Structure 1
Amino acid sequence: MAFWKKPTVQEQMRANDRELKKTQRDLERDRGHLEREEKRIEGEIKKAAKQGNKEACSVLAKQLVRLRQQKTRSYAMGSKVSAVGTQQKVMGANLKMADAMKTTTKTMGQMNKAMSPEDTMKTMRQFQESNMKMEMSEETMNEALDDIFAGSDDEAEQDKVVAQVLDEIGIDMNAQMSKAPSTSTATPRAAAASSSKDDDEEMLKRLAGLSAP
């Protein structure tokens, strides 16, 4: 035994649309029959009038009036069916918008759960603090390096200033150094030679004293 399943709103709307279209086709078919019947009665009225049959003309005229009234009601019903179909389409569009808003609301709720404002702000604060610490560490390291290399930079700067001053007063330091005696090397050697000579003379005197009677 098959269980009956309640149709969804979309399925029900599609079924209603099919029924409305079928009703509209049936009304159009009936109007076609009425129009053909109208022409037939008009022809019979003309025929009875030519024959001078007044009573037949009166009966046929009443039938024609009722037929035209029915045709008018058929057109009115067709307009009503068309209006219902249009209204259903509007309702369908509204339902689709409602479903879209429902889906959007659900999605936004999931996003809010996944990304809470508190966690986001906490992450941003942590990033800012880490960035500040890194900048402070970099600044401290740069200052330490500047202190280490400050002496060599100052000495180089001083040498540059001295060379500039000597150049301004017309003194070539390299030329002066080449003309100066090399006291740093000659003097120690001469002193060493003199000391060695004195030691030899002292040794000879002692040997002479030992060999004398």
Structure 2
Amino acid sequence: MPLFGKTPTVKEQMRQNDRDLRKTQRDIARDRTGLEREEKKIEMDIKRAAKQGDKHTCTILAKQLVQLRKQKTKTYQMGSKIQSINTHGKMMHSNVKMAEAMASTTKAMGNMNKTMDPEKTMKTMQQFNKESMKMDMTEEMMNDTLEDIFDESGDEEEQDAVVTQVLDEIGIEISGKMVDAPSAHRGALGESSKSKVTDADLERQLAQLKDL
């Protein structure tokens, strides 16, 4: 009976059933023990009556003995039945636990499916790809615009003019010492000049550059 109207759980109910069945088994075992004692007593009474030649008493006692032995057999049958019920109950409890586990697993999978909505996930991935493409296009457009601005500003030409001016100034200061040196407009890199510059010439040129 539920305590204070509280419905017992399946586990609590199974424990209670197990206690009740074990108690019934013990009661049946005690009854069987009593029947066995009574059986031995009747057997002794039958032997005594037989020795006295009391056939009538022997017949009555023999019928009692038969009935008693039948009852004892029933106790064994009942004990087996109770054991079977107990085993069946444990199997049912195991099935209930498996059903509960399946229910929990099903609920968890349902929650995962709700969280990982395939359509929503696909839309998110498509939107990500779309935004990524926009970002790449924007970056490419910005790079092109910046390159156009830099090209229009004439920075490259201005830098070339400054370099040319410096080289011209150096060439004037060293009084034509570098005239015969290799230059980009006289041939490919590594080609020999008309007259080779000696180490002494280079040292003098470096010394003049330091004096500038």
TM-score by length of 2: 0.61
Provide the C-alpha distance between the structure 2 equivalents of 1:63 and 1:121, rounded to a whole number of angstroms. 85
1:100 matches 2:101: yes
Corresponding residue pairs, total: 156
**Corresponding residue of 1:159:** 188
**Corresponding residue of 1:207:** none
More helix by share: 1
Provide the C-alpha distance between the structure 2 equivalents of 1:43 and 1:24, rounded to a whole number of angstroms. 29
| C-alpha deviation, 1:89, in angstroms | 1.1
| C-alpha deviation, 1:35, in angstroms | 1.0
**Corresponding residue of 1:31:** 32
Query: Which is greater in Rg?
Result: 1
1:13 matches 2:32: no
- Give the share of equivalent positions with the same residue, in percent: 57
Q: Which amino acid aligns with 2:86?
A: G
Provide the C-alpha distance between the structure 1 equivalents of 2:31 and 2:188, rounded to a whole number of angstroms. 118
> How well do the aligned residues superpose, as a CA RMSD in angstroms?
3.3
**Corresponding residue of 1:112:** 113
**Corresponding residue of 1:194:** none
Once the two structures are superposed, residues 133-176 of structure 1 have per-residue CA deviations (whole angstroms, 9 ceiling, x without a partner) of 788869xx8xxxxxxxxxxxxx8xx835xx4xx6xxxxxx2683
Provide the C-alpha distance between the structure 1 equivalents of 2:120 and 2:74, rounded to a whole number of angstroms. 69
**Corresponding residue of 1:90:** 91
**Corresponding residue of 2:53:** 52
Provide the C-alpha distance between the structure 1 equivalents of 2:47 and 2:74, rounded to a whole number of angstroms. 26
Where does structure 1 lack aligned partners over 5 or more consecutive residues? 142-154, 167-172, 183-213
Provide the C-alpha distance between the structure 2 equivalents of 1:8 and 1:29, rounded to a whole number of angstroms. 32
Give the number of the structure with larger relative contact order, counting CA–CA contacts within 8 Å between residues 6 or more apart. 1
Where does structure 2 lack aligned partners over 5 or more consecutive residues? 144-183, 202-212
Question: Superposition pairs for residues 186-205 of structure 1, below 5 Å?
Answer: none
Q: Which amino acid aligns with 2:89?
A: Q
